[in-house]
Structure 1
Amino acid sequence: MANWVSAGSVKSLQEEKAKVIKGGIGVFYHEGDFYAVDNRCPHMGFPLHTGSLCDGILTCHWHHARFDVCSGGTLDPWADDVPVYETKEENGELWVNQAITVSDKKEKYKQRLMKGLEQNLGLVIAKSVVGLINADVPAQEIIKIGIQFGTTHRNHGWGPGLTILTAMSNSLPKLDTQGRIQALYQGLRRVAGDCAGQPPKHLTGPLSGFSGNADRLKTWYRNCTEVRDSQGAERIVLTAVESGMPDEEISSMMMTAATDHFYMDAGHLLDFHNKAFEAAELADTGLKKSIFASLTPLFSNAVRSEELHSWQAPVNLVTPLKAAFQEIDRLPFPEDPVPFDEKELLEVILSDQPITMIHALTETFKNGASPVKVAQIVSLAAAERIVRFHIQNDFNDWITVLHTFTHAHAVHESLRRTNEPALIRAVYHAAVSVYLDRFLNIPSTKRPVGQKEDEPLIADDFLKILDIQQQVNEAGQWAANYLHQSKDTDALFNTLGHALLREDADFHSYQMYEAASREFDLWSGEGEAEGNTLAEYAQETMIIAAARYLAAHAPTAREIPRVGKIAWRLHYGEKLFEENES
């Protein structure tokens, strides 16, 4: 009887109909029987004993969630089942067994997460993430569930939701516990939103009996993507995986096709490819087919920038680019890269002389420079455009400079993953896009210079700035001042992450935070920032760019992160319904 607790006399309970006893258990007398359930509504914690019980259905009076009082099962998918307790009568007294059957919490939360994804239920997703994290389930396992769902439940293929989820998974080391939960929840919620109302993705399958080599598959794949044949391309990708082609070769095949045309879909196509390959590194081998196959539909309607007027007039950029590609065609990656003047190349990329810039890139590559390092300089130039973005520009132009930066970052990361020579073309694409964005720096905002403050700056103070609209320059100046006073960039990136995750952020804001933080880290690698003025300048650029971009898109209604906070508070038993409006 150790776990049994008295609920009172049977007679008094029959008269009261509903009562709360020790342990927060609601006891009900209904249709001649006694029932005991957890008195906290599993939806948002409202006391169930204040609800109504009719025909065996217990209804919560806050959001009208309905439960079978006998089994605890819910009729509403957005509410969890309520735990039930065993009861017995002895000598006119009712006893309730406080011990409930212990189920596998980890498996339960995983199942609930899948239901939340299938039904696109934000609170269910959030509560599942909180439960899984507190059950010590590794974040990678949670991410895999989202990747598997997103690549198999969206016929249109890889989308913004999976990109956000992968970006947030990359950002987890930058965040504290609350930030990590918000990052996972928001990434998974975006995946669910992308898949809502979409037909599932059914793989076509590999070519049966294929006995050719990798080069043949690569040729076929490029031919299919050239004519926008996504189904043919999918079968070739699946054949490549089935035949055991190494991931690096598959990446080479797909990235070559992704750069056969210029800056496709404003850089999104290559950016999505990069994120998909990052996701493949996180996921199981069994998910690679669905991940890689999710990329082939992107070619169907992708815009090819060489067909756009802006790439052909008033300056014809297409012809000199094609000539440059012929010069560097199949140029091997240098085994021992030759250093080059990085500052000089940065200035050329940011100039208004595109033909000179194209020639400079070509000579730099021909002289044996590292394509990875050149791509890093282009990414820095793209971030500089955001730092110098004038707030008198049209608001939507923020997305233009963002596209260039995230594309340049994707090129940089992709070149670090594979040494496919054809991918060097994407460095040119990104550099030309930096040139085309020059008008967004006319007039140019003055780059903020760090100044000494009377009081020490605390990273969390940045959030107060973003409580007011259009504090773009103020946010950039604050970031510069902070870097002037403090070296605690870990705290700063955690705060920038919270600045992102406390808003109803759009797709591009997630991209901005992840790309800036990653580029910051890459400038820190191998002791590069130690005594290197360009590296220090680059790191400052990434932080100021992120601060300005996030400030431009804040504040919002903040409804999405509020759901994540509710899930956290419910998990720890807080009574949301008792709050008073201030």
Structure 2
Amino acid sequence: MSKPRPESAIHVASHQTLKERGVIVVSGKRRRIAVFAEGESVFAVENNCPHMGFPLDKGSVKDGMLTCHWHQARFDLRSGCTFDLWADDVARHQAWLEAGEVYVAPEPAHPLGEAEHRQRLIRGLEQNIGLVQAKSILALLEAGVSLQSIVREVVRFASANLTGISEGMIRLGCVTRVFDYLSRRTRYKALYYAIRQIGEETSQSTPRRPRQALADTSHGLATLKQWMRQWVQTRHRDGAERTVLTALEQLPGEDVADLVFGGATERLYANGGHLLEDCNKAFELTELLGDEEAVNLIPLAIPGMTSGRGREESTNWHHPVEIVEPLRHLERRLPADLEGSRTGSWRATESLRGTLLGDDPLLIIERLEAALSDGAPPDCLAREVCYAAALRLARFATSNEVTDWFNPQHTFIYGNAVYQAVRRSAAPDVVRGIFHGAISVYMDRYLNVPPARLPSERGSGKELPEVGEALLKLLLTELDQRANVERAADIVSRYVTLDQDFTALIDTLTLATVREDLDFHSLQVLEAGVNQCCAWDQGPECEQILVGVVRNLAAHCPTRRAGDQTAEIAQRLHNGEKIFEGES
């Protein structure tokens, strides 16, 4: 039954006039409204097609069905629901026919609230419809819904529909880590950049089959670690997953970290470093959302752990220098190396930094072990290795192929993951990851031949603006052009040297990253760079870290930015803008 017409209802025209014209557009409270005559009935919907904003009054009506003429999206006039799920439903307005006159409500009959936008986001993920995802994210952010709440919805959907940690989940984890630095616009685009990838992945994945913890048992860490080592070595996913689930029920967080990261480092630099970062992101998302999400997140790292390949299976860690055997011998000494007290005043010498960037892998292992024996805190040592990895990016020779950036990208991302891991647990099986990362830094040495000169060494950039806002605007402009690697480095170096606002720089770098159609590596490098700048308390190392970050980004820009185009269209649709010139 139709609701009584309120005084706020808008007079449209006489019924006869509407029937003669077929459709009349009026201005509602927030949107323009298309009022249609269908036989003796009248119906009204928002005039912008929810798919791409084409004016629906330019469409056609037959048998109660409205068809948009641009992409042929079809809608039920009575409800506003679409028959073509990629188009999204159109908002319906109540219409009245009284004494031969037509009236319409200025606002939709069923305004969408937070619960509806959550459902809409999940529907967009289920159907892999980017515009629906984007509009839902915008609406939730505008309603003041917290990051944790949005991410929890997405993580629960992803964990039920993916069989492992995916690129989309890594993207999402990176976004959560830099979220506090971001402006409203960048937050939206960054979340969409991550969530649309999850929608793509789940549309092609089989649902996950959950395992369960061992029932009615109580096992200590030593037993669970022994089992985990066996499951990793024999590639037994079910055994490893049940062991981890049991640990989540019975062990404190530090011991769970020892078990999981120890399993991830059982193979040397497994999966090109990705495995440890997968585990790291599972822990970071759990820390954001709460321990109750651990059973959904941590087990997702297990398939990669049990199926992964380590560098002990590759030739270059055996020849021309045998590295694997010394690393395995080191593992047996690490418990004793870590027995002594740690000193918070420990600082790396320039000699150690030179060794880390040198060409003697056995000396690298020796010097790092000596530092541990001398009381170096594992997280400080991990930070040094990660800084060396950042310098590989900062000094990457552009004479290399573009695809060669992947090696130092992986090393830097891995180094940051190790740093995070040893802060959760400094157990020997976790600390050994520091050495694996250091050897990967060594393996990347030829990509610095010849080494690119740092901006401070070139003495360049003095002609650049001295105002931070102008520098950031110039940076985005430079990233619109292909491979402006050194120019981008000069801008960031000058910005940092002038001690400009760190938050604004990270916001700009994030926007510059997520607007591109890039895979997750550049965002991972950026997030690792932000984390390492914080680890160094924004000290002098930050300039070179961020130079490495932006050089890597500039080498891969610009792309077609198709994803960003969808985000922009969704923003304009959400704002009710006229997307097409000439709309009546």
Q: Select the residue among 329, 338, 343 that pairs with 2:350.
A: 343
Is residue 6 of structure 1 aligned with residue 11 of structure 2? yes
Q: Select the residue among 421, 424, 439 that pairs with 1:417.
A: 424
Residues 179-328 of structure 1 aligned to structure 2 (within 5 Å): 179-241=186-248, 243-328=249-334
Sort the Cα spacing of 1:26 and 1:197 in 2 relative to 1 into closer, same or farther, 3 A.
Answer: same
Residues 517-528 of structure 1 aligned to structure 2 (within 5 Å): 517-524=530-537
* Structure 1: tracts of 5 or more residues without a match: 530-534
> Secondary structure of the residue that 2:36 maps to in structure 1?
strand
Q: Which region of structure 1 is more displaced relative to structure 2, 247-256 or 390-399?
A: 247-256
Q: Which amino acid aligns with 1:126?
A: A
Distance across 1 between alignment mates of 2:41 and 2:7: 24
Deviation at residue 299 of structure 1 after TM alignment: 2.3
Q: Which region of structure 1 is more displaced relative to structure 2, 178-187 or 490-499?
A: 490-499
Q: Select the residue among 49, 59, 75 that pairs with 1:41.
A: 49
Two-structure CA RMSD over aligned residues (Å)? 1.8
Sort the Cα spacing of 1:374 and 1:85 in 2 relative to 1 into closer, same or farther, 3 A.
Answer: same
Sort the Cα spacing of 1:312 and 1:135 in 2 relative to 1 into closer, same or farther, 3 A.
Answer: same
> Secondary structure of the residue that 1:260 maps to in structure 2?
coil
Deviation at residue 338 of structure 1 after TM alignment: 5.7
Sort the Cα spacing of 1:345 and 1:236 in 2 relative to 1 into closer, same or farther, 3 A.
Answer: same
Residues 76-475 of structure 1 aligned to structure 2 (within 5 Å): 76-103=84-111, 105-155=113-163, 157-241=164-248, 243-329=249-335, 331-332=338-339, 334-337=341-344, 339-449=346-456, 451-453=461-463, 455-457=465-467, 458=470, 459-475=472-488
Sort the Cα spacing of 1:519 and 1:29 in 2 relative to 1 into closer, same or farther, 3 A.
Answer: same
**2:276 and 2:414 in contact (8 A); partners too:** yes
Sort the Cα spacing of 1:349 and 1:461 in 2 relative to 1 into closer, same or farther, 3 A.
Answer: same
**1:333 and 1:419 in contact (8 A); partners too:** no
Is residue 566 of structure 1 aligned with residue 573 of structure 2? no
Sort the Cα spacing of 1:279 and 1:333 in 2 relative to 1 into closer, same or farther, 3 A.
Answer: farther
Match of 2:3 in 1: none
**1:3 and 1:99 in contact (8 A); partners too:** no
Distance across 1 between alignment mates of 2:142 and 2:405: 38
Deviation at residue 317 of structure 1 after TM alignment: 0.9
Q: Which amino acid aligns with 2:323?
A: L
Deviation at residue 496 of structure 1 after TM alignment: 1.3
Q: Deviations over 1:439-470 (max 9, x none)?
A: 11111111221553264352221111112212
Match of 1:532 in 2: none
Is residue 483 of structure 1 aligned with residue 496 of structure 2? yes
Q: Which amino acid aligns with 2:547?
A: I
Deviation at residue 52 of structure 1 after TM alignment: 0.7
Q: Which amino acid aligns with 2:489?
A: G
Distance across 2 between alignment mates of 1:400 and 1:365: 27
> Secondary structure of the residue that 1:577 maps to in structure 2?
coil
Sort the Cα spacing of 1:441 and 1:335 in 2 relative to 1 into closer, same or farther, 3 A.
Answer: closer
Distance across 1 between alignment mates of 2:200 and 2:95: 42
* Structure 2: tracts of 5 or more residues without a match: 1-5
Q: Which amino acid aligns with 2:220?
A: N
Distance across 2 between alignment mates of 1:7 and 1:221: 71
Is residue 577 of structure 1 aligned with residue 580 of structure 2? yes
> Secondary structure of the residue that 1:6 maps to in structure 2?
strand
**1:133 and 1:181 in contact (8 A); partners too:** yes
Q: Which amino acid aligns with 1:271?
A: E
Q: Which region of structure 1 is more displaced relative to structure 2, 89-98 or 256-265?
A: 89-98
Distance across 1 between alignment mates of 2:125 and 2:97: 42
**1:144 and 1:283 in contact (8 A); partners too:** yes
Q: Deviations over 1:134-166 (max 9, x none)?
A: 1111122111122112221112x1111101110
Q: Which region of structure 1 is more displaced relative to structure 2, 1-10 or 124-133?
A: 1-10
Q: Which amino acid aligns with 1:42?
A: P
Q: Which amino acid aligns with 1:463?
A: L
- The count of residues paired between Structure 1 and Structure 2 equals 568
Deviation at residue 570 of structure 1 after TM alignment: 1.3
Deviation at residue 99 of structure 1 after TM alignment: 4.3
Sort the Cα spacing of 1:97 and 1:103 in 2 relative to 1 into closer, same or farther, 3 A.
Answer: closer
Q: Select the residue among 38, 41, 49 that pairs with 1:30.
A: 38
> Secondary structure of the residue that 1:578 maps to in structure 2?
coil
Distance across 1 between alignment mates of 2:423 and 2:140: 33
Q: Deviations over 1:157-194 (max 9, x none)?
A: 11111011100111112221111111111111111222
> Secondary structure of the residue that 1:261 maps to in structure 2?
coil
**1:340 and 1:364 in contact (8 A); partners too:** no
Distance across 2 between alignment mates of 1:143 and 1:44: 26
**2:64 and 2:76 in contact (8 A); partners too:** yes
Deviation at residue 579 of structure 1 after TM alignment: 8.5
Deviation at residue 240 of structure 1 after TM alignment: 2.3
**1:333 and 1:371 in contact (8 A); partners too:** no
Distance across 2 between alignment mates of 1:579 and 1:51: 15
Q: Deviations over 1:479-521 (max 9, x none)?
A: 2233333433322222211211221122211111111111112
**2:92 and 2:110 in contact (8 A); partners too:** no
TM-score (norm 1): 0.94
Share of identical aligned residues, percent?
Answer: 36
Q: Select the residue among 493, 514, 517 that pairs with 1:504.
A: 517
Deviation at residue 103 of structure 1 after TM alignment: 4.5
Distance across 1 between alignment mates of 2:385 and 2:465: 37
Q: Which region of structure 1 is more displaced relative to structure 2, 258-267 or 16-25?
A: 16-25
Distance across 1 between alignment mates of 2:264 and 2:479: 37
Deviation at residue 125 of structure 1 after TM alignment: 0.9
Deviation at residue 3 of structure 1 after TM alignment: 2.2
Distance across 2 between alignment mates of 1:488 and 1:96: 50
Q: Which region of structure 1 is more displaced relative to structure 2, 372-381 or 193-202?
A: 193-202
**2:231 and 2:306 in contact (8 A); partners too:** no
